[in-house]
Structures are given as C-alpha cells and as structure tokens.
Chain A
C-alpha cells in the first residue's frame, strides 16, 4: 500500500511538474537566473545520472570513481547526491522516462540527441543554467567539441566522454609479419597491404573495423569527400558517389580474407586476446587494451584514421555528451554542480587517465599538474588530441525518428559491407527511406 501511495504521489508530482515546466519553459527563456534555487547541504537534493560507461567493464571503475568523488566532495559540501544508473543499451533512460522516473542527466550519444530533445523533454543548457557561469565554465574546452551538442544554436548537450577513432596495432603481430609498427599505415591501401601480410605470416586476422561500429563509418565517408547529412540537415547524402566509393573500399577490405569478422564487442575481445593486427575503434578502449596487452605479453601502437590516397582524413567523434532534463529550480542547481565537476580539470583528469576518453580541456595535456605525465607515458593520446583540431561532428539525425534512422543507416552499412550487395543500390534505398522520414 505504501508503495502504491508513493507511486501515486510520484505520479501526481510528475504531472504537476510537467504542467509547470510547460509554462515554465517560456519564463526560463527570458530570465535565466530564475531557474536556480539554493541548495541545502543539510537536506541534499538527489539527482540521477544514466551512464553507459558504468555498464562497460573497461570503463566502469573510472566512471564510478568520478561520481564517487563528486558525491564525497562538492556534493557533500553543497548538498547534492548523484545516484548513478548503468545503461548498457542506451535504452534504460528512455524506458525510465516513459516509466515516469526522474531522469536528470544522461550520458547521451550524439545521433539521437534531436529526437530526445523533441520527444523526451531534454533541455537546453541556456534555459536552465546561469548564463554567466555557463560561459565561464565553457572556457578552456576545445571549441570544436562545444559545437557538437548544439541544435538550432542552443546547447542541448555538453561534450563529455569523447574520443576520436584510432588504429590500435599489435606490435608483436606487426614484427612477426616483418612490418614496423612505428611506421604505421597511412592510407587504406596501406592498411589492406599490411593486413594481408599479417594474415599470411601469422594466420591471425590483420585488420578489424566492426560493421556496426556506429560512428567511424561516418569518418570514412567524410574522408573520401562524401557527406552523411547535408549541411542544412534536411536530407541525407550518404548514397552519393564519394560515399559509395568509400563503403565499396571497405566492402573489399572486409571480404579479402584478412578482415576480422564479428560485431564490435567480439572484435574488441579478439584484439585484446592478441589475435588481431590492427583494430580501429574508440580510444575509450585504451585502458582495457593496455591491460590486456600487458597480461598477454605484447605491445600496443596507435595511428590516426587512415586516409584515402592523398586526401587528409576527417575523423568524427564518438562518445557522449551530457544531456539534461532537471524539472525544478533546485534540481537545476544540483545538476549544474555535477556538470561543472565532471567537465572540470579534475573531472577530465579522471576521465582520461582512468576511463580512456580524451581531455576536452586540451590544455591539461601539457599541464604538469594535469595530465602531462600521463600523456607522456601514453603518447598514443597525442594522436587523438591532434585529430581534435580537424574533427567533424558525427551526425545528429534531425527530427523525432532518430532511432529508426540510426537503425536504417547502420543496417544499410552492414549490408553493404558484409554481403556482396550492390553498395550504391543498398545505400540509395536507405537514403530514400530516411529522406522520407525527415522531410
């Protein structure tokens, strides 16, 4: 009974809150400060944080540390308690929003941000956080990264755990094949050649890029001069010749016998087991790969995203941003405290050194009090920090059907790469279907 009462009162609270925020939204636009209420350390405010990193074995400990440190320091001092929820499939927060639970902060992937904004009540930073503090806080964060979470000029997500693609290389397999891991392959043609050599010499797969990787694909398309989403975000362009050519290259690579097969998780397992020569994935896996290589007695090398001929490659970002939907002035203040902490110098020190994502406060990399020692010890990160300068945002699918579009796009890529289907036709079909949804 007690439970039922609780449920009912929560329901009432939720309905009133929604009613309030509906009228409150207009008010917040005109006066930003109005949205903040004072926090009380004696009576702490509870907020929830949904994080996929918490569900990934290689990132879990670091993310837990980050949250714990906030709760133990600033949280305690100001009166905020962050309750973390692991979200392995990026669906938990949706389910919980539809269940009427309080979902305050989400470690949100990029592609579906617009749909979340439209459907799930996520809010713009400008509407819920104090303007001057926001501007102050964003200083020092890589400007390119700040652009990523903006829709129609407003920030719906602040880049958080963030990485660019990297080619991890197994030094031992390289040397076994008579290759020099310090002289990394630069173009896709180099990759193909090296992978075939590794396969021939060691019997192990030379190269791996998971067809369901979800983001590196876009870097491939962009690097060959193609486009995924048009500039005006009104149509998709991944079925045009330059994109098709890029995917055809991958289809050929995938099917030449030296490409590892399987989904992302399986490829990661295979690489960490020392059974793959090169693996393109996110730097987020670095901490896990490093441990695996030490345990397995091999060494790791890295290189940036390969390029097509002499065209410079254009990497996209992976990872997440923080999207927020606080529903009371007190929660606005509580959420803001958490965001400030996790994207502070201290926050990024933990994120980079313990989880493996990039420090978006790039100055940290050269700061002796920051991450300098760490980066010097793991120079691999310099590759990604370098890429940050010419990074291109991963597509944020427009409109409310982002999940459907994500599936359509990745299914079309999967089909093109794995099967012998006609790439141009497959992509065109998907593009037509997506265009119908967003126009």
Chain B
C-alpha cells in the first residue's frame, strides 16, 4: 500500500520504448505491439471480471429491488433505495459510528506509534528491536482468533477483566461489555487499535531510521529537550509517513473493524456498534435486499473516493522529503 498509493497516480515511466526495431516484418511488429497487453492480460482480465464487472453490476442493482433469489429479476425502482437509505435510522446511526471508528483509531495508528517509535529509536542495542517485534505480534493474528480471545477476557460472568475489577472493588457488578452500549463500540475500537499499534510503530521506526542523526545532534547542541525535539524535528521529518498512515487509517479503519463487529457484537446492542460496511453486509445477506446494499455501497465508494483523492493531493502538496 505504501508505494501503491504513491505510485498510483504517477505518470508512466518516461523511459525509452523497447529497443529491438530492426525487424520489418509486419507480423513481428504487430506481435511487438501486442506484447505488453499480453503480459497484462491475466491481471486485467481478472480485474475486469472480479472488480469492474461487479462494480457496474452494483451500480445497476442500486437502482433496482432484488431479493437475490436466482431466477427472479430485479425490479427497477429509480432512486427509491437511496431515498429509503437516507430515512433509515440504522443507516444514519452507522454513519456516525463509522466516523467514530475512523477518528477513534487515529491515536492508535498515529499518536501512540509515533511515541513508541521515537522512544525506541533512541535506545541502543537489542532491546529496541525486541520491543518492536513484540508490539507487532497482535498484527499478524487473524481477526477471528483475536475476537475469540477478547470475548473470553471480557466475558460477563467468567471473564478475567470482570473478575479482576470486582476484586479490586472498581465495579460492584459484572459488566456485559459487548451487550452494553456504553462499552461495546469502545471495545471494538480498542481491539482494532490494539492490533494496529505494532504495525504503525514499525512503519514510523523505519521512517525514523532514514532520518539523519545529525539533525538531532544539532538540535541537542542548540539545547532542545526531547519533547521539543519530538515536535520540532521528529514530527515534521516524518510528515510523509504520517500522512500516509493517516490516509490508510481513514480509508481502511471501517474495514478493519468489520470482523470484530461481526463476531463480538453483530452491530449491537441495538445497533450502537455497527458501521456502514457491516450494515451493507446485513442488508445483503441477512435481509436479502441487494438493491439497498448496493445503493449504500455505491454511496460510500464515492465518499471514500473523494476523501482519498483529497488526501492524496494533500500528501503531494505538503510532504517534504529529507533528501
């Protein structure tokens, strides 16, 4: 993703066209012209079938009503799906939660990792890598496994968390965390964040390694304390990486929370922990309302498209590089 976003809008390579040019035979010429397309064919074909065809199909479905039963034909309903979507309280609520998750994840994907990265960066010797490697462990675990573990830790009557809190006298009654609107979405956020911290830390650490140490030495001679160094030097020098992580976090946080919502709360209690992607899934596979789901998907395809293009422009304009 890192390179991906940066290169995705880069113009094609300004290199020279391929060299061999002596053969005059028409067939060979045609062959040479076709060659690049041939190499691209598998990729483009698969993308066509599994990305662009369905996208167009979704666009079509968004204006139709269809119960997904084979043999039945979608019925054209115009903008009805969109109109009903706008009136649907659960959908409106899920937009609010999506914003909550997006904003709430930023400390976990930027702030905490930035601190962890710069603290470990100053360390000498092995410990720095040991810490970073340990932070990273949650990142590689699969969402279902992670959910199962947290569900057990937060189990209302037998979980460790309630047991410890009750013993400490912090609470007087066990809490059913995933059935409590005051906790459910915060826990989903926390678990998603817990998994993210290690990854972002590694990314920031890598970026820090690329920074010339002399900047810091110079700053230290000038008498800048470590806090000052952090926001005078570290933050600006890491700004490309920060913007990159920001883009990623904003674009993907709702996807990352999906599995936890599905396994831990199924969006509840009373829809307080759901997000737009989970609603789309429910509209389609629980309510069998393909048009509704498609309309929501289309809407968010556009919304996220606009956001990411904006962020991409931002990162081109405001990033400066240390070389």
Contact = CB atoms under 8 A, between A and B. Distances in A.
Interface of A: 11, 14-15, 17-19, 91, 94-95, 97-100, 119-121, 211-212, 257, 260-263, 266, 269-270, 273, 275, 400-401, 403-404, 407-408, 410-412, 414-415, 418-419, 429, 433
Given A262-B176, A419-B181, A411 B268 contact: yes
Interface string B251-288: 00000000000000000111100000000000001111
A279 to B, nearest CB: 12
A100 B70 contact: yes
B156 interface: yes
Nearest to A119: B67
A429 B155 CA distance: 32
Contact of B157 (A262, A407, A419, A433): A262
A261 B69 contact: no
Per CB-CB distance, the 8 closest pairs between chain A and chain B, nearest first, are: A18-B71, A262-B176, A411-B270, A98-B68, A261-B176, A414-B270, A100-B70, A270-B157
Interface residues of B, number: 29
A415 B184 CA distance: 13
A269 B158 contact: yes
B244 interface: no
Contacts of B69: 97-98, 119-121
A400 B291 CA distance: 14
A14 B71 contact: yes
Contacts of A429: 89
Contacts of B156: 260-262, 266, 270
B90 A211 contact: no
6 contacts: A98-B69, A257-B173, A261-B176, A263-B178, A400-B67, A404-B289
A94 B90 contact: no
Contacts of B155: 266
Contacts of B271: 407, 411
Nearest to B173: A257
Contacts of A403: 286-288
A402 to B, nearest CB: 9
Contact of A11 (B70, B174, B288): B70
A269 B271 CA distance: 24
B179 interface: yes
Given A212-B268, A266-B176, A15 B70 contact: yes
B129 to A, nearest CB: 41
Interface string B174-191: 111011110000000000
A94 B285 contact: yes
B270 A266 contact: no
B288 A98 contact: yes
Contacts of B72: 18
B70 A414 contact: no
Nearest to A10: B70
Nearest to B151: A266
A120 B67 contact: yes
A18 B70 contact: yes
Contacts of B176: 261-263, 266
Contacts of B89: 429, 433
A120 B285 CA distance: 13
A11 B173 CA distance: 56
Interface in B71-90: 71-72, 89-90
B165 to A, nearest CB: 14
Contacts of A411: 90, 268, 270-271
A4 to B, nearest CB: 14
Contacts of A270: 156-157
